[in-house]
């Protein structure tokens, strides 16, 4: 595993964090929380899918994310899970991150949105990132599990595959690294290859970017894509399903 120090962050006047390594912001300036809900949760139709899970069964719904960042997407997914999923099911959220934000920066970033306060506080209480390691956290009596692989995206996804961290493939993907122009490694051919290996028929994906390199890479490795309306200043985002 590659080992890097914590993310180097600067904050704008609105309290929005920006990576100095990739010269890109972690979430939009207008309302990062609403953006994350729209792109990740709505883009994968999570609320409706959670409600359709059979309450008479026990099972695990798995989300894999590329780019843990501040943990905002995780908090949004957890909140949607609590509101919509039957109690007999578990959520396993698996993410990767090469440059983890520090615990203090995570708390500062997530403090912007009172709607996720209980989830932010629970995450912050357990979030102790060690670059180059795998971190596992459990919440709500093990009904929600978070696994973060602190490594570069390709190595991390291969670790998830080889170590069988995800047993039956992802149910949904959040592709939320910094943009392709800023961080091309996050959107490389190798990423799409391992994504296909970690997917199953019906696996969905969503991402804020509609860049051609992303569309072509996903389509070449089994995803059927569509553009859907974006949030705020973003006209379109990308949603898809694995064939």
What three-state secondary structure class fits 82? helix
Residue 86 confidence (pLDDT): 98
pLDDT at 120 over 80: yes
Ramachandran area for residue 142 (φ above 0: left; ψ -120 to 50: alpha; else beta): left
Residue 163 confidence (pLDDT): 96
pLDDT band at 29 (very low <50, low <70, confident <90, very high): low
Q: Tens of pLDDT along 194-208?
A: 999 999 999 999 999
Residue 56 confidence (pLDDT): 98
Compute the average pLDDT of residues 49-77.
97
Compute the average pLDDT of residues 56-76.
97
pLDDT at 81 over 60: yes
Q: Roughly how many angstroms between the first and final C-alpha of the chain, as a whole number?
A: 31
Residue 25 confidence (pLDDT): 80
Average pLDDT across the chain, whole number: 94
Q: Tens of pLDDT along 141-168?
A: 999 999 999 999 999 999 999 999 999 9
Task: Quote the CA–CA distance of 84 and 82 in Å, as a whole number.
Answer: 6
Residues ≥6 apart with Cβ < 8 Å to 173: 44, 63, 64, 65, 66, 195, 199, 203, 204, 205, 206
Task: Quote the CA–CA distance of 65 and 93 in Å, as a whole number.
Answer: 8
pLDDT at 169 over 60: yes
The proportion of the chain whose per-residue pLDDT surpasses 70, expressed as a percent, equals: 97
pLDDT at 1 over 70: no
With contact defined as beta carbons under 8 Å apart, do 131 and 5 qualify? yes
Complete domains list, the chain, with CATH: 9-242 (3.40.50.150)
Closest to 41 measured CA to CA, from 231, 202, 179, 243: 231
């Amino acid at each position: 595993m590659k080992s890097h120090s914590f993310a180097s962050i600067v904050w704008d006047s609105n309290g929005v964090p920006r990576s100095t390594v990739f010269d890109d912001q972690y979430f939009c300036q207008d309302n990062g929380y609403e953006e994350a809900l729209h792109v990740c949760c709505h883009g994968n139709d999570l609320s409706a899918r959670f409600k359709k899970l059979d309450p008479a069964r026990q099972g695990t719904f798995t989300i894999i994310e590329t780019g843990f960042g501040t943990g905002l997407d995780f908090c949004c997914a957890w909140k949607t899970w609590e509101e919509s999923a039957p109690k007999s099911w578990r959520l396993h959220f698996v993410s990767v991150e090469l440059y983890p934000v520090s615990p203090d920066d995570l708390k500062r970033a997530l403090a912007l949105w009172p709607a996720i306060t209980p989830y932010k506080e629970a995450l912050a209480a357990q979030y102790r990132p060690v670059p180059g390691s795998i971190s596992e956290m459990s919440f709500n009596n093990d009904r929600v599990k978070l696994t973060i692989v602190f490594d570069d995206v390709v190595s991390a996804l291969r670790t998830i595959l080889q170590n069988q961290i995800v047993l039956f493939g992802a149910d949904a993907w959040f592709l939320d690294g910094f943009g392709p122009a800023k961080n091309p490694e996050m959107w490389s051919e190798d990423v799409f290859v391992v994504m296909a290996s970690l997917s199953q028929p019906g696996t969905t994906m969503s991402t804020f970017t509609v860049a051609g390199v992303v569309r072509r890479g996903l389509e070449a490795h089994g995803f059927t894509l569509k553009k859907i309306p974006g949030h705020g200043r973003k006209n379109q985002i990308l949603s898809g399903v694995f064939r």
